[in-house]
Amino acid sequence: MAAKSNSYLDQVVAQQAELEEDLRPGFARSAPAPVAAGAPSPRGALAKRAARVGQTREHTPQGPVDVRVTGFWRWQTVLVPPNAFVVHTRRGAAEPLHIGLGVSFRFNPATDSYLVVPGAIQTILINAYCICRELQGVLVQGYVQWIIDDFATAYRKLDFSDPEDPMRLVNVQLREQAEAAIKDKVSTMAVRDVLSDKQPIIEELTARLRTVAEGAGEAGARGDRGLGLSIVTVQIKEAVVSSNTLWENLQKPYRSEQNRVARLAELEAQEAVSTREAAAGRAAEERRIENDRELADLRARNDAARFDRESAERLRRTAREHDVDREVADLAQQTALHALRLERDKHAEQLENARLQQELRRLQLEAELALAQAKTRAAHEAALLELERERVGIDNANARTDTTVQAQLIETLPAIVRDLPAPTELKSVQIGGDTTGLAGLVAQLSEIVAAVRHSPQS
């Protein structure tokens, strides 16, 4: 029967191999060392932890400092950024020629050497797998921020030789010291204390790191024991119990208590709700009964008022019908009387029209008679006038003298001359003898007319 594998031992072995790889200088690091035959291969939680460590535990390389070198051969100049520390040494010189923050200098590759280190704050992520006082696994996560305080001391005691990340080895060393301090402190604490109060861990970790980094001994003295570093802050982000069963068991009392409180509160709420519902139901029922009673009274009052209105309306309609009948009878009587009056007026008008027609006929007859009499009288008078004219003409003809005839002829001469044609030749006629007599004058005129008629113009 195969023995059960020890997962905690697997984690420790994997962390040790990873630490050895991290502590190697940058130029000596190579591919990960193969796992020895017979060594347990990390699987399951260990593989996940290794992948997680590969993502979080490795310090992110910041790359080399952006240092510019100008010039050529022995006359070069090194330009250092203002946020980077530099130390410049020369062959045969016991002390550095230049040391400080952002110091630029002339450089001779044959005799000089220099080291540039970033001066920014560094952050170390910590994942410490610890064993508490109850021998239970706890994962404590935190971070440490530090900065170079005394570069003259730091460059002598720390390894900044990694060309890719000068701070890598320092971060690895501080991280291991921080994990060791956390494990020492957690081993003296109970699981509940680790989960509920992280301040003791922070204080212990801060004190140890400052003792190592800043060299703070008794009475706060600083000496060669320090590394020239300054711890900016130490924080514990989270503490997680490795065992799911233990974590659930730790939560059960609180959850049970909270379930009990919640259940009691729920029962109290249900009881209160039931009481309120009963009271509300009783009040609703009372309101419904009161509303029904009020509605019944209102319906009765409405029915009585409707009956009164209907009775009054029936009486009003009956009276109105009698009034209408009486008005209709009066109107019929008036209509009959008016018809009789109209008939009487019609007969009177017909009689008057007949009388007027007779009178008109009489007047027409009288007018015709008067017209006939007037015509007869006018005809008689015209006949008498004609007779009188004939008599007068005869008398005038009988009484006409030569002088009258000559005068009439002279009056008609212009008309006769006007009617005559224009003469083409002139002929003279001598009228002799006695022209006083009517017969002689007529004879002369006759001759003149005959001469004119026989002229070529006629």
pLDDT exceeding 90 applies to what percent of the chain? 3
Q: What is the pLDDT of residues 119-152, one digit of tens each?
A: 888 888 888 888 888 888 888 888 899 888 888 8
Q: What is the pLDDT of residues 304-321, one digit of tens each?
A: 999 998 999 999 888 888
Q: Which residues of 184-207 are buried (b: 16+ CB within 10 A; e: fewer)?
A: ebbeebebebbbeebeebbebbbe
Is the model's pLDDT at 15 over the cut of 80?
Answer: no
Q: Which residues of 395-421 are buried (b: 16+ CB within 10 A; e: fewer)?
A: eeeeeeeeeeeeeeeeeeeeeeeeeee
Check if the beta carbon of residue 41 is closer than 8 Å to that of residue 35. Answer: yes
* Higher-confidence position of 364 and 224: 364
Split at pLDDT 50, 70, 90, the class of 237 is confident
* Higher-confidence position of 242 and 263: 263
Domain spans of the chain, in order of start: 1-29+39-57, 59-118, 121-242
Is the model's pLDDT at 197 over the cut of 60?
Answer: yes
CATH homologous superfamily for 121-242? Band 7 domain (3.30.479.30)
Is the model's pLDDT at 51 over the cut of 50?
Answer: no
Q: What is the pLDDT of residues 255-286, one digit of tens each?
A: 778 888 888 888 888 888 898 889 988 999 99
* Higher-confidence position of 54 and 429: 429
Split at pLDDT 50, 70, 90, the class of 57 is very low
Rounded Cα distance between 337 and 328, Å, is 14
Mean pLDDT of the chain: 77
Q: What pLDDT, on the 0 to 100 scale, is given for residue 22? A: 62
233 contacts: CB under 8 Å, gap ≥ 6: 144, 145
Split at pLDDT 50, 70, 90, the class of 289 is very high
Q: What pLDDT, on the 0 to 100 scale, is given for residue 427? A: 59
Nearest to 83 by CA among 68, 69, 65: 65
Angle at CA of residue 152, ends 146 and 155, nearest 5°: 70
Q: What pLDDT, on the 0 to 100 scale, is given for residue 255? A: 74
Q: Which two tokens stand for residue 195?
A: 């989960």
Q: What pLDDT, on the 0 to 100 scale, is given for residue 162? A: 80
Q: What is the pLDDT of residues 372-408, one digit of tens each?
A: 888 888 888 888 888 888 887 777 766 666 677 677 7
Angle at CA of residue 123, ends 122 and 128, nearest 5°: 140
Is the model's pLDDT at 63 over the cut of 60?
Answer: no
* Higher-confidence position of 448 and 57: 448
Q: Count the residues in the chain.
A: 458
Rounded Cα distance between 3 and 35, Å, is 20
Rounded Cα distance between 23 and 402, Å, is 194
Is the model's pLDDT at 206 over the cut of 50?
Answer: yes
Least confident range from 23-27, 231-235, 451-455: namely 23-27
pLDDT exceeding 70 applies to what percent of the chain? 73
